Chains A and B, each alone.
Chain A
Amino acid sequence: MAAEPIIEVRDLDMAFPVRGGPGGKTVIQQVLHKLNFDIAPGETLGLVGESGSGKSTAGRILVGLYEPTGGSVKLFGQSITGAQRQHGLAAVRSRLQFVFQDPHAALNPRMRVGDSIAEPIAIAGGRTRRDRADRVRELLEMVGLPRDGAERFPHEFSGGQRQRIVIARALALQPGFIVCDEPVSALDVSIQAQIVNLLMDLQQKFGLSYLFIAHDLAVVRAIAHRVAVLYAGSIVEVAPKDELYGDPQHPYTRALLDAVPRADPDRVRGPVLGGEVPSLLAPPPGCRFHTRCPHVMPRCRTDIPALRVTTPGRHVACHLYA
């Protein structure tokens, strides 16, 4: 990807104070650990990992909802970390949008769909009521909903249609970058495909960039250009899609792909990965995956593997590739 990235993330750290120490004391939980990645214009970066691995936290940081505790984030060339945070966010806010998993929670049930979609425009100011109504109809059409849908209420729509409404609202201010956090996880497979295709069409049309968060690796393969794999708050592998799925290098990426059930009753699957993701309050030393890794070596228990380039465009954090 030759173009200048529009998202640049460097050594990003995030920690939350949580209750859970001995005697119910408040302790610091390190949720993201030194993340590094870029996203180019018109590119989709898939972010995968098990629940609690930090995907949503990373997504929220990228749209300014959380302030990271360390590292730097640049969006459209503007820093949104450190002293420039407020100024940077003000400059880029209208170009950032967020689509959540649950389209029910995302829409106000008492608000007409048209008003929900027009809300960001109204808040940003400008445009007359009439202009807004025209824009709403245009947006509805863009996401494949009937124009008269504007007058109806969210409960009159199915889950897939509601996700279209949420996407229409996200497009209202012509963003350049959308964080999609599990946008199809709550939908049936036949509807999932409709939404994924819609997101891809919109990307083509408007040159959008996406951070596409999902725990379903197969869905991510359909939409992403590159994929980053998170494990317990660290990126263990980032690679162009074909490389990641065709030849996964990190032992965790391999295990994750192997665990996905295939629609092939004859497939003989490899041994099932045992254990569970470690607690972020007491992460294991060294490689965080070493407690479950089938290739664990002595140094894995003590040294944190760095994210290194293994082949052009691909980064892996594993001592096997040192």
Chain B
Amino acid sequence: MASEPLVSIENLTVQFRTDRGWATATESVSFDIGDGDCLGVVGESGSGKSVTALSILRLHARGTSRFNSGTIRYDGRDLLRASERDMRAIRGRDIAMVFQDPMSSLNPVLTICDQISETLMLHRGLSRIEARKRAIELLDLVRIADAARRVDEYPHRFSGGMRQRVMIAIAIACRPRLLIADEPTTALDVTIQAQILELLRDLRTELNMAVMLISHDLGVIAEFARRVVVMYAGRVVEDAPVDVLFRKAMHPYTEGLMASMPALDGPVRRLYSIPGRIPDINEQVAGCRFSPRCGHAEAVCLTAMPDLVPVSPDHRVRCAPRTRTTGAG
């Protein structure tokens, strides 16, 4: 990336207070999101995808969470150190977020118009009438048919897919430069998922915004992203352009994840499964967090936490054996 990234996360470590003390949810997470980029973040449940996303907007509960280290650079500022007032201005206007469950994010007693208008009146200072007009345009933009009529309805009249379109309309209302979509299609049927992904893809180009799409589904990532960050147990384990990742993944976890995906074509084989399970947030694992499940672990993996090492200018891997430079002498 030649130009300055839009958002640059460096060395982010987030902890939560649990009944067994402070537990580390993400450790030393570093990656960039370029202007207009289309970044996929993939990993199994509990790997720290949402924690990282919520850190960008600083949406963690105070008191039970803390940033142990790190910076998140945006527009010349460190968001982790910005004032709450600045953060309020950034949320929704510069950086917006869409969540998995559109129903719990919508207020059941307000009309769709009210909910879209709220952001517009707050951030853009539009009048009620202007906001309503813009709300209808936004519903059109997210391909909701008959927008002028539907804008006055309540969320319960909308299907799951429609509600997610409304959430996207609210998120893009102020033309953010970055849209974070955290599992936006996980609760939806595949045909509706395909519609929503297509919509996000179109909006990204139409509005020229960066999108960070979080998913546990490698298929969704393959179809949507241009660059992919793979997370495991709170760490970034691999970061590569999508075609590089799917052609020659280098981290054993990425390989395992790909091998466990049941296929829709080719011979039907017994499914591959990564042995064991992801460690709990309170579990201490020495060395590489994946080593207890890894078929390629060596002595060094069990003792030293490997670094995220660049193997080419745009490909980083956190695995000591796989990134060892051979034939140096």
Given contacts A160-B277, A218-B263, A263-B246, contact A273 B222 (CB under 8 A): no
Whether A276 lies near B192 (C-beta < 8 A) is yes
Given contacts A197-B273, A259-B191, contact A218 B262 (CB under 8 A): yes
Whether B191 lies near A262 (C-beta < 8 A) is no
Interface size class of chain A, counting residues whose CB lies under 8 Å from the partner chain = 35 or more
Given contacts A222-B268, A262-B264, contact A276 B222 (CB under 8 A): no
Given contacts A189-B260, A193-B260, A273-B194, contact A263 B219 (CB under 8 A): yes
Whether A241 lies near B44 (C-beta < 8 A) is no
- Give Cα distance in the complex from A263 to B216, angstroms: 12
Q: Which residues of B contact A258 (CB under 8 A)?
A: 194
B129 touches A (CB below 8 Å): no
> Which of the candidate stretches A92-100, A111-119, A169-177, A264-272 sits at the interface with the other chain?
A264-272
Given contacts A262-B223, A267-B223, contact A219 B262 (CB under 8 A): yes
Proximity bits, B115-134, A CB within 8 Å = 1, else 0: 00000000000000000000
In the complex, which of the residues B160, B198, B273 contacts A191, with contact meaning CB atoms closer than 8 Å?
B273
Whether B191 lies near A261 (C-beta < 8 A) is no
Q: Which residues of B contact A273 (CB under 8 A)?
A: 191, 194-195
Interface size class of chain B, counting residues whose CB lies under 8 Å from the partner chain = 35 or more
Proximity bits, B163-196, A CB within 8 Å = 1, else 0: 0000000000000000000000000011111110
Interface set, chain B 219-238, CB cutoff 8 A to A: 219-220, 222-223
Q: Which residues of B contact A259 (CB under 8 A)?
A: 190-191, 193-194
Whether B273 lies near A194 (C-beta < 8 A) is yes
Q: Which residues of A contact B6 (CB under 8 A)?
A: none
Among A189, A221, A258, A266, the most chain B Cβ lie within 10 Å of the Cβ of A189
Whether A192 lies near B260 (C-beta < 8 A) is yes
- Give Cα distance in the complex from A260 to B262, angstroms: 12
Given contacts A217-B264, A261-B222, A261-B223, contact A188 B194 (CB under 8 A): no
Whether B44 lies near A221 (C-beta < 8 A) is no
Whether B190 lies near A256 (C-beta < 8 A) is yes
**Closest residue of B by beta carbon distance from A51:** B189
- Give Cα distance in the complex from A154 to B142, angstroms: 43
Q: Which residues of B contact A245 (CB under 8 A)?
A: 264-265
- Give Cα distance in the complex from A60 to B190, angstroms: 24
B218 touches A (CB below 8 Å): yes
Interface set, chain A 217-272, CB cutoff 8 A to B: 217-219, 221-222, 241-242, 245, 255-267, 269, 272
Among A160, A190, A192, A264, the most chain B Cβ lie within 10 Å of the Cβ of A190
Q: Which residues of A contact B262 (CB under 8 A)?
A: 192-193, 196, 216, 218-219, 221-222
A9 touches B (CB below 8 Å): no
B258 touches A (CB below 8 Å): yes
Whether A255 lies near B222 (C-beta < 8 A) is no
A200 touches B (CB below 8 Å): yes
Q: Which residues of A contact B223 (CB under 8 A)?
A: 261-262, 265, 267, 269
B271 touches A (CB below 8 Å): yes
- Give Cα distance in the complex from A100 to B261, angstroms: 22
Proximity bits, B236-277, A CB within 8 Å = 1, else 0: 000000110010000000001110111111001011111001
- Give Cα distance in the complex from A194 to B195, angstroms: 31
Interface set, chain A 145-199, CB cutoff 8 A to B: 158-161, 188-194, 196-197
- Give Cα distance in the complex from A243 to B186, angstroms: 28
Whether B242 lies near A261 (C-beta < 8 A) is no
Given contacts A193-B260, A245-B264, contact A272 B270 (CB under 8 A): no
Whether B220 lies near A261 (C-beta < 8 A) is yes
Among A159, A192, A257, A259, the most chain B Cβ lie within 10 Å of the Cβ of A259
**Closest residue of A by beta carbon distance from B196:** A272
Interface set, chain B 134-181, CB cutoff 8 A to A: 159-162
Whether B264 lies near A189 (C-beta < 8 A) is no
Whether B222 lies near A188 (C-beta < 8 A) is no
Whether B195 lies near A272 (C-beta < 8 A) is yes
B217 touches A (CB below 8 Å): yes
- Give Cα distance in the complex from A203 to B138, angstroms: 52
**B193: shortest Cβ distance to chain A, in Å?**
7
In the complex, which of the residues B195, B198, B261, B270 contacts A189, with contact meaning CB atoms closer than 8 Å?
B261
B309 touches A (CB below 8 Å): no
Whether A188 lies near B271 (C-beta < 8 A) is no
**B121: shortest Cβ distance to chain A, in Å?**
31
**B40: shortest Cβ distance to chain A, in Å?**
10
- Give Cα distance in the complex from A119 to B222, angstroms: 45
- Give Cα distance in the complex from A256 to B242, angstroms: 24
Q: Which residues of B contact A190 (CB under 8 A)?
A: 44, 256-257, 260, 273-274, 277
**A125: shortest Cβ distance to chain B, in Å?**
37
**Closest residue of A by beta carbon distance from B272:** A193
Known contacts A188-B45, A190-B277; 5 additional CB pairs below 8 A are A50-B189, A161-B277, A197-B273, A218-B261, A260-B264
